[in-house]
Amino acid sequence: MVSRNGNASPEPQMQIDNVHLSFGGVNALTNINFNIYPGTIQAIIGPNGAGKTSLLNCISGLYKPQQGRIMLAGHNLATLAPHRIARLGVARSFQNIELFRHMTVLDNLMLGRHIHMKSSLLRCGIYWGLAQKEEIKHREFVEQVIDLLEIQSIRKQTVGSLSYGLQKRVELGRALAMDPQLLLLDEPMAGMNTEEKEDMARFILDISEERQTTIVLIEHDMGVVMDISDRVAVLDFGRLIADGTPDEVRAAPAVIQAYLGQEHGATMIA
């Protein structure tokens, strides 16, 4: 397996093995099996209700599958709480913006560093110098994220005063502030105009190439998906119907059928 940045990655970073998730009598995911490789951009696509966000929720620990394993660094994420999964280097953004609207951009990004902070309230009171040094260290990392996402000019603005597109960029920044090994992005371009989508696609590529971060991406814009992804997994009614390179997936009959049927499907995913 070779990533978009040219690195050979023969061993998977994450193995999704026979994952099944149901709610009552409704199967959200059925026997999902595929691998995610280091340094790659892995897209997950499918029609509405296909199970894409449910799969991301299983990876991040919000949902617990009834069977199957999600292996990362020797740990089965299907059995771990979300905070423990975060400590293994998994971060995510959400389909609906989950920011603190009355706090500044900088404060929201600093919250993304909380998982790396060691100073307790007691330690801050007794050893102020150590806590201050830790704060400076985390602030330096956040400044790198601010520069990468080109949000220097809005750092002191409250999130609620920003446009929707900028709020989505800040949410990406907060996830990136965790310095993740695996970054889960749930429709990061939803609701954006063309220019905002182009910017977000560029930032995602920069994160992948400059930070060597593995990215799992849910996105409905097939043009973007096919342009920036190394591999694409396709879900339909909770089942995996294709997994491969963008070219392989684009030509798969099952994928074409899933998108508006044979006659129009090829245009939909081109």
Is the same domain home to 267 and 240?
yes
Whether the Cβ atoms of residue 45 and residue 233 lie closer than 8 Å to each other: yes
Residue 30, Cβ neighbours under 10 Å: how many? Answer: 16
| Two structure tokens written together for 122 | 């007691």
- Please give the average per-residue pLDDT across 111-131, as a whole number: 56
The total number of structural domains that make up the chain: 2
Is the same domain home to 84 and 205?
yes
Cα gap 154→235, rounded to integer Å: 38
Which CATH number characterizes residue 32's domain?
A: 3.40.50.300
Is the same domain home to 257 and 220?
yes
Is the same domain home to 17 and 48?
yes
Is the same domain home to 155 and 25?
no
Residue numbers of the domain that contains 223: 1-89+180-270
Residue 65, Cβ neighbours under 10 Å: how many? Answer: 24
Task: Report, in this order, helix, strand and coil percent for the chain, each rounded to 5.
Answer: 45, 25, 30
Mean pLDDT of the chain: 85
Is the same domain home to 49 and 113?
no
Please determine, for residue 41, whether its predicted confidence score (pLDDT) is greater than 90. yes
Please determine, for residue 264, whether its predicted confidence score (pLDDT) is greater than 70. no
What pLDDT was estimated at residue 256? 85
Is the same domain home to 201 and 77?
yes
Cα gap 103→108, rounded to integer Å: 7
What's the pLDDT tens digit per position in 62-108?
A: 999 999 999 999 999 999 999 999 999 999 987 666 778 888 999 88
Residue 259 domain-assigned (yes or no): yes
Domain boundary among 119, 149, 179: 179
Residue 230 domain-assigned (yes or no): yes
Is the same domain home to 193 and 159?
no
